Structure 1
């Protein structure tokens, strides 16, 4: 099972930025927009899933990676 903690999540974001030739701030901004879009999804099932993972909080990109990576299975 794969799991990223906050420190490794920051490193992952840094690697993605380098891979795409942009800044960490740009990657974090795009991730935050995607997280907010997921949180505000009109589908009640998607809203319930987001709520189950994060409650009423909007996670940071690092928090999102940490939490969601706990559920990944290969």
Structure 2
């Protein structure tokens, strides 16, 4: 089972930044924007799923990776 901890998530973000030739800050910013879009999705099912996973909190990119990796069936 695939499961990331915060340390693993930070390393993953660093690797993505290196792969795309940009900074960690840029990757984190893009991820945070995507997380905000997911949180504010108009689809009631998607909104409920986000609420189930994160409650009223907007997760950091690292928290998002950790939580989502727990739900993957790989």
Distance across 2 between alignment mates of 1:73 and 1:19:
25
TM-score by length of 1: 0.99
Give unmatched runs, 5+ long, in structure 1. Answer: none
Count matched residues.
74
Question: Which residue pairs with 1:63 in the alignment?
Answer: 63
TM-score by length of 2: 0.99
Q: Give the match for residue 24 of structure 1.
A: 24
Say what the alpha-carbon RMSD is for the aligned residues.
0.3
Report deviation, 1:73.
Answer: 1.1
Runs of 4+ displaced beyond 2 Å? none
Superposition deviation, residue 48 in structure 1: 0.2
Match of 1:37 in 2: 37
